[in-house]
């Protein structure tokens, strides 16, 4: 009894400590579809923190695709892909994805997190080495630790530090793993230089394009943006952000995909996503391919936000993507600014350690934001500018 009590007390003390540091996390309940305006706890908020960059999460085409798939395939897939859960929409999605990004083959995973775990642990073991950017997504870090390979992290976008690590490594297999678009900063990895290093040192280059697919390269993502192709490239896109559904796709040479189908534990030992999710993702990819107006509109909003903050005390990180971080001096003031915006009906996520080193408001834009929506954010930020003065 006393033991149980002390176990609980230790957790409570840990939570209290987080509270004291303004680092405790809470959730808000959203009672509407994802979108530019969301219902939250009885209020309507203008949303600037979603990854629904193209506004497809509640798009009519995706809804219809999912509804029709439910009619035809029901809800649950019933088994893993390798047993009897791999249904026609899953197969169609893999083929369409590979074709869209011009890669030989693709393999579906239930989420981006699982794709990263599956690919890195499927390719690497104890005698191998993995080289990663310090700002990579948490799921890639977890994947590298789980692989038991020699895990080397280089400073953000620091190519010569990476090259020195590669040159020294005696590992059997080498893999460089990066985010193509850094999720909390919005900046890009120098993929052409990274591919050159991968080729020079006979390493794989694994590209996590969670935030680039659908947005960059005419929607085809970061490889198209940089016009890259190589048998050493392994590409991952998630389907829960710009695509508006859920899941993830890994694309590579056919032999890589066949290997992963046999070795990626997160693809093997898990139930396939519902067919309706795959059908909606396929409709999302079709919308990305056919409708350029969403991307044009999104790019116009990004330009509007950046121009609107020129000459103010606010500092946006350098980013051409829908991720536009507003850097602030400390956790407490980041929370205060986020709270003040919330009170004005604007939802902007405060991102703090340990997710990032430097606290920030992570503003994300969507193709469904109107010019007036971004003006509303700019007006609120202008009104709150004195708060920023007090923080310095
Ligand atoms: C969101 C994200 C993931 C995880 O994808 P999910 O499908 O949400 O699990 C992986 N990598 C990066 C860079 C991400 O931003």
Residue 355: its pLDDT value, please?
86
Residue 3: its pLDDT value, please?
59
Residue 370: its pLDDT value, please?
98
Nearest ligand 1 atom to the CA of 179 is: 13
| Mean pLDDT confidence for 60-73 | 98
| Topology given in CATH for the domain delimited by 60-290 | 3.40.640
CATH 3.40.640.10 in the chain, residues?
60-290
Q: Is the minimum distance from the CB of 50 to ligand 1 under 6 angstroms? A: no
Mutate to test the pocket of ligand 1, among 187, 238, 323 (most ligand atoms within 8 A of CB): 238
Is residue 241 over pLDDT 80? yes
CATH 3.90.1150.10 in the chain, residues?
23-52+292-388
- Judge if pTM exceeds 0.85: yes
Separation of CA 109 and ligand 1 centre (Å): 12
Residue 157: its pLDDT value, please?
98
Is residue 392 over pLDDT 50? no
CATH number of the 23-52+292-388 domain: 3.90.1150.10
Separation of CA 56 and ligand 1 centre (Å): 17
Residue pair 147/129 in contact (Cβ under 8 Å)? The answer is no
Q: Is the minimum distance from the CB of 240 to ligand 1 under 6 angstroms? A: yes
Per-residue pLDDT tens digits for 153-179 = 999 999 999 999 999 999 999 999 999
Residue 332: its pLDDT value, please?
86
| Mean pLDDT confidence for 91-107 | 98
Tell me the pLDDT of the chain averaged across its residues: 96
Per-residue pLDDT tens digits for 273-332 = 999 999 999 999 999 999 999 999 999 999 999 999 999 999 999 999 999 999 998 888
Mutate to test the pocket of ligand 1, among 210, 221, 351, 355 (most ligand atoms within 8 A of CB): 210
3-class SS of residue 186: coil
What Rg value do the Cα atoms of the chain yield, rounded?
Answer: 22
Residue 391: its pLDDT value, please?
47
Separation of CA 1 and ligand 1 centre (Å): 41
Residue pair 247/284 in contact (Cβ under 8 Å)? The answer is no
User: 32-65 burial, b if ≥16 CB within 10 A, otherwise e?
Assistant: eebbbebebeeeebbbbbbbbbbbbbebebbeeb
Report residue 307 as tokens: 């121009």
Nearest CA among 283, 208, 290 for reference residue 248 = 208
Residue 110: its pLDDT value, please?
97
């Amino acid at each position: 009894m006393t033991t149980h009590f002390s176990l609980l007390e230790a957790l409570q003390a840990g939570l209290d400590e987080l509270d004291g540091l303004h680092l405790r996390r809470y959730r808000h309940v959203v009672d509407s579809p994802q979108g530019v305006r969301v219902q939250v706890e009885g209020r309507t908020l203008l949303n600037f923190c979603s990854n629904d960059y193209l506004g497809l999460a509640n798009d009519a085409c995706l809804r219809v695709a999912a509804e029709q798939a439910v009619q035809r395939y029901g809800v649950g897939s019933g088994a893993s892909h390798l047993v009897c859960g791999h249904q026609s929409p899953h197969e169609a999605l893999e083929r369409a994805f590979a074709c869209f990004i011009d890669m030989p083959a693709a393999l579906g995973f239930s989420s981006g997190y699982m794709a990263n775990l599956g690919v890195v642990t499927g390719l690497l073991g104890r005698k191998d080495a993995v080289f990663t950017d310090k700002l990579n997504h948490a799921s890639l870090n977890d994947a590298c630790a789980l692989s038991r390979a020699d895990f080397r992290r280089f400073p953000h976008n620091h190519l010569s530090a990476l090259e020195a690590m590669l040159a020294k490594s005696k590992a059997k297999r080498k893999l460089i793993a990066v985010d193509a678009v850094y999720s909390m900063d919005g900046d890009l990895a120098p993929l052409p230089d990274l591919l050159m290093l991968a080729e020079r040192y006979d390493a794989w280059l694994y590209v996590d394009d969670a935030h680039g697919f659908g947005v960059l390269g005419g929607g085809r993502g970061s490889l198209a943006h940089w016009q890259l192709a190589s048998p050493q490239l392994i590409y991952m896109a998630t389907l829960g952000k710009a695509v508006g559904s859920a899941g993830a796709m890994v694309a590579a040479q056919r032999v890589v995909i066949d290997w992963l189908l046999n070795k990626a534990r997160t693809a093997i030992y898990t139930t396939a996503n519902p067919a309706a999710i795959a059908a909606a993702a396929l409709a999302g990819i079709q919308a990305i391919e056919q409708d350029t107006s969403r991307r044009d509109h999104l790019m116009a909003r990004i330009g509007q936000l950046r121009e609107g903050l020129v000459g103010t005390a606010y500092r946006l990180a350098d980013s051409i993507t829908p991720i536009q971080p507003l850097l602030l001096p400390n956790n407490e003031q980041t929370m205060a600014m986020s709270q003040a915006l919330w009170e004005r009906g604007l939802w902007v996520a405060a991102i703090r350690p340990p997710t990032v080193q430097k606290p920030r408001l992570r503003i994300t834009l969507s193709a469904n934001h109107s010019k007036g929506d971004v003006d509303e954010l700019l007006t609120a930020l202008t009104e709150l500018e004195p708060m920023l003065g007090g923080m310095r």
